[in-house]
Amino acid sequence: MAHVVVVGGGLAGARSCEQLREQGHAGRITLVGAESHLPYDRPPLSKEVLIGAADTSTLRVDYDELRVDVRAGVRAIGLRPVDRVLVTDAGQIGYDGLILATGADPIRIPGEGEQLTLRTLDDALSLRQRLRPEARVVVIGAGWIGAEVATAARTRGCHVTCVDLDALPLARLMGSEVGKRLLSWWEGIDLRLGTAVAAVTSDGVELADGETLPADVVVTGVGVRPATGWLADSGLEIDAGVVTDEWLRAGPGIVAVGDCAAWWSRRYQARMRVEHWDDASAAPAVAVAALLAPGLGEVEPHDPVPYFWSDQLGHKLQYVGRHTDQDRLLFREREDGSWTALWLGDDDTLSAALIADLPRENVQAQMAILGGSVLDPHLLADPAVPLTKAVRSV
Ligand SMILES: Cc1cc2nc3c(=O)[nH]c(=O)nc-3n(C[C@H](O)[C@H](O)[C@H](O)COP(=O)(O)OP(=O)(O)OC[C@H]3O[C@@H](n4cnc5c(N)ncnc54)[C@H](O)[C@@H]3O)c2cc1C
C-alpha cells in the first residue's frame, strides 16, 4: 500500500501511525489533525492539567523516526471513497488506505451564555485559568467528566455546584444502588440531583423550574457525539459513529478506530462505541492489520472486554465488562470503605465489575469475565476470597 492517511491526531491516530510501521507498512503515512498540537493524552486533562500539576500530556511518539508527515491544524471536511480522495481545508489528499480516528465532540446545552466544555488541551488550559479560589463554578452533568471537573474545581478552592438530571450520581449508567454509594463522595459540592437545566444564560444556569444558579464559570459535561459530521456525504454508513465490521472496516481501504467508531462485537453480539482510552489504544492494532491484509488471513477481530477508569472526588473507579439491567448486582464490601459492585448473569458468570479504590481487583475481574467461570455469590460477597477463586463447586 503506497500511502495511508490517518485522519484525527488523537490517541487512536497516534497509535495507528505506530502500528502501521510496527506491522511493516513501508509506504507513506500522513496524519491529518484539526488541532494545532501533536497528539496527546486526554485523561490527564481533567486530572493533572486542570489542577495545575501538569501543563501538557503529549504522547511519546517520534513522528520523524516513524516517517509520518504530520499535518497539524488541518481539518478533513469531506471524503470521496470511490476516488480515494480526502478533502481537507488545506486541499485534497489522495490515499490508498484511510484510517478514521476523529474522536468525538462535546454536546452543548442551549443558551447564549458562555459555557466551557473539556475535550482538548486548549479547553483544559483556559478552564484552569478560570478555576480561581472562590469562583462560583456550575458543572452541568455529574457523569465521568463532570465529576472530574467538579473535583478539580473543589481542589482549586472554587464554590462548586453540580447539576444532573439523574436522581443519583451515575444512576443511568450504573443503577441507583451504586449511585447511593457515591453520594457521600460529593461532600463539599452542592449537588443538585433530579434537576433539569433549561439554558445557560449570561447570569449562570437557568433551571427548568425557573431558578437561576449564578455562576462565574459554567462547564458542560453531558456527553459527546462522534465527530463524523464531515462524512455525511461520503456514502459511508454512519449510525452514532462510523459503522464498521468486527475488524473495524468501514469500506474498501477504510477503517475506523477510537471514539468515532461503532464496531460490531462478536463477544456481545452488539454494535459498540466505547468512548474510553483503552479502546482507542487497542483498536489500531486490529484496524491496521485488517487494512494491510484485505483478505484478513489470520487477523483476529477487535473484541475486547471494555475497560475504563475515572479518578474522581478523591477516589478511583474502574469498570470492566458490560452489564445490562437484567444482571444481578451484588457488592463486595471491604473494611477500609472500598467496595466492588459485581453484575452477574442468569448463569452466575460475571458480566461486569465496578471497582472503587482497589486497583488490583480489576485484573481479577477481567480474568473472571474472560474465563467465563460460574461464580458462587456467597463466596463473591466475601472480599477475602479473590474473585477468580469464588468459583461454584460442582
Ligand atoms: C477530559 C477527558 C478525560 C478523560 N479521562 C478518561 C479516563 O480517565 N479514562 C478513560 O478510559 N478515558 C478517558 N477519556 C476518554 C479518552 O481520552 C478517549 O476515549 C480517547 O481520547 C479517544 O481517542 P480518539 O483518538 O478516538 O479521539 P480523540 O482523542 O478525541 O482524538 C480525535 C482527534 O481528531 C481530531 N479531529 C476531529 N475531527 C477532525 C477532522 N474532521 N479533521 C481532522 N481532525 C479531526 C480532533 O481534533 C482530535 O484531536 C477522557 C476524555 C477526556 C476528554
pLDDT in tens, 88-125: 999 999 999 999 999 999 999 999 999 999 999 999 99
pLDDT tens string 190-220:
999 999 999 999 999 999 999 999 999 999 9
Per-residue pLDDT, 296: 75
Atom of ligand 1 nearest to the CA of 230: 41
Cα 383 to ligand 1 centroid, rounded to whole Å: 35
Whether 108-220 and 3-105+225-292 are alike in CATH topology: the answer is yes
Is residue 183 helix, strand or coil? helix
Atom of ligand 1 nearest to the CA of 44: 3
Hey, where are the domains in the chain? 3-105+225-292, 108-220, 316-389
In sequence order, the 6+-apart residues with CB closer than 8 A to the CB of 67 are 21, 28, 29
Measure the CA–CA gap between 384 and 366, rounded to whole angstroms: 18
Mean pLDDT for the chain? 96
Confidence of residue 295 (pLDDT cuts 50, 70, 90): confident
Atom of ligand 1 nearest to the CA of 276: 19
CA angle 40, 138, 160 (to 5 degrees): 95
Question: Which grid cell is 364?
Answer: 481479577
Nearest CA to 351 out of 394, 387, 389, 393 is that of 387
Cα 103 to ligand 1 centroid, rounded to whole Å: 5
CA torsion sign, 317 to 323 to 325 to 328? negative
Confidence of residue 349 (pLDDT cuts 50, 70, 90): very high
Atom of ligand 1 nearest to the CA of 258: 26
Measure the CA–CA gap between 331 and 367, rounded to whole angstroms: 18
Cα 241 to ligand 1 centroid, rounded to whole Å: 14
Cα 376 to ligand 1 centroid, rounded to whole Å: 39
Measure the CA–CA gap between 321 and 339, rounded to whole angstroms: 17
CATH of 3-105+225-292 given 3.50.50.60, 3.30.428.10, 1.20.58.220, 3.40.50.12160? 3.50.50.60
Selected residue with higher pLDDT from 298 and 390: 390
pLDDT tens string 307-324:
999 999 999 999 999 999
Break the chain down into helix, strand, coil percent, rounded to 5. Answer: 25, 30, 45
Nearest CA to ligand 1 atom 38: 102
E strand or H helix at 14, and its extent?
A: helix 11-22
Cα 167 to ligand 1 centroid, rounded to whole Å: 28
Per-residue pLDDT, averaged over 144-165, amounts to 98
Is residue 165 helix, strand or coil? coil
Compute φ and ψ for 172, nearest 5 degrees. -65, -35
Cα 393 to ligand 1 centroid, rounded to whole Å: 44
- Whether the CB-CB separation of 186 and 155 falls below 8 Å is answered with no
Nearest CA to ligand 1 atom 30: 103
Measure the CA–CA gap between 206 and 212, rounded to whole angstroms: 4
Confidence of residue 394 (pLDDT cuts 50, 70, 90): low
- Whether the CB-CB separation of 111 and 202 falls below 8 Å is answered with no
In sequence order, the 6+-apart residues with CB closer than 8 A to the CB of 350 are 321, 342, 343, 344, 365, 368, 369, 375, 387
Atom of ligand 1 nearest to the CA of 278: 11
Nearest CA to ligand 1 atom 15: 276
Measure the CA–CA gap between 340 and 154, rounded to whole angstroms: 26
E strand or H helix at 177, and its extent?
A: helix 176-183
pLDDT tens string 23-66:
999 999 999 999 999 999 999 999 999 999 999 999 999 999 99
Cα 199 to ligand 1 centroid, rounded to whole Å: 26
Per-residue pLDDT, averaged over 80-94, amounts to 98
Cα 101 to ligand 1 centroid, rounded to whole Å: 9
Atom of ligand 1 nearest to the CA of 35: 47
Measure the CA–CA gap between 47 and 307, rounded to whole angstroms: 18
pLDDT tens string 230-253:
999 999 999 999 999 999 999 999
Is the pLDDT at 297 greater than 90? The verdict is: no
Fold that domain 316-389 belongs to in CATH: Enolase-like; domain 1 (3.30.390)
Confidence of residue 265 (pLDDT cuts 50, 70, 90): very high
User: What residues line ligand 1, using a CB cutoff of 6 Å?
Assistant: 7-13, 32-35, 42-43, 45-46, 75-76, 101-104, 118-119, 145, 227, 230, 258-259, 275-278, 280, 308-310
Confidence of residue 388 (pLDDT cuts 50, 70, 90): confident
Cα 227 to ligand 1 centroid, rounded to whole Å: 10
Measure the CA–CA gap between 163 and 161, rounded to whole angstroms: 7
CA distances from 33 to 41, 71, 337 (A): 14, 6, 44
Q: How far is CA 354 from the centre of its chain?
A: 16
Nearest CA to ligand 1 atom 9: 309
CATH of 108-220 given 3.30.70.3270, 3.50.50.60, 3.30.750.24, 3.30.70.20? 3.50.50.60
Measure the CA–CA gap between 320 and 5, rounded to whole angstroms: 32
Nearest CA to ligand 1 atom 17: 42
Measure the CA–CA gap between 162 and 191, rounded to whole angstroms: 5
E strand or H helix at 281, and its extent?
A: helix 277-292
Task: Output the furthest CA–CA distance in the chain (Å, rounded).
Answer: 66
Cα 275 to ligand 1 centroid, rounded to whole Å: 8
Measure the CA–CA gap between 290 and 288, rounded to whole angstroms: 5
* DSSP code for 324: -
Per-residue pLDDT, 373: 85
Chain position carrying cell 489504544? 281
Nearest CA to 331 out of 362, 310, 354, 364 is that of 354
Confidence of residue 178 (pLDDT cuts 50, 70, 90): very high
- Pocket probe for ligand 1: among 18, 92, 102, 222, the residue whose CB has the most ligand atoms within 8 Å is 102
Note the pTM of the prediction, 2 decimals. Answer: 0.97
